[in-house]
A and B are shown apart, each in its own frame.
Chain A
């Protein structure tokens, strides 16, 4: 090899020491697809807590069920990430897997249709109750209780929008529905939670 070619060849080889934390989701997904477990571990580090947070509230605060859901969903992600083409954001794809596992898990445990009309209804307005001063933990728990009372699709839509910050389009993608339905579900969820939380300040 001539010296000039050697120089060019050397210039393209380096240590390549870029931290996984500095790489984008898309790069990590491609690397994980090639078998890079560290890349998948970084994806896990970035997203798993949010996925668990969502699963826990969709599985009626059952920690073991939520853990099972997240593990099953992320196992599918690990096995199938080589086919992830980036049509949606990685985060949306992961939430879709978790949402589907939540449905599967609920159907295994309780074989009834996942239908808004069959789930818990709104509690009466709290206008007669004296306002309650809330600590941080009490306020969070009150919201969690109020969320449990929401029908499934309203709960899912609200969590994905208000806690996880997904767009209407992304939520529709995760829940396999339309943005029109998402907007309607959000509107009802917000109205219900506002009434349910009215006693807290």
Chain B
């Protein structure tokens, strides 16, 4: 089964991929800074799963982290998302134009 058409999905969300990861980002966006435990308390996933998503998000430079005492505090960095969203939006628009031109050229002369 094909993936659903992404044409009408806001590119910011298209950039986030995994739905659980989106929820982690959403929770982070609500609260300023958070710990893995604090995020896990807000979400129906384990602290371990949250930690894995935070590691991936940190690898993608979507979150920054800081040790405060024995805890690590995470904060959202929206810039990479914005850049990815921009790429997705631009490239998507280019392909919309080209596919429309393809359609016109193939359907030329019909009817």
A, B bound: no
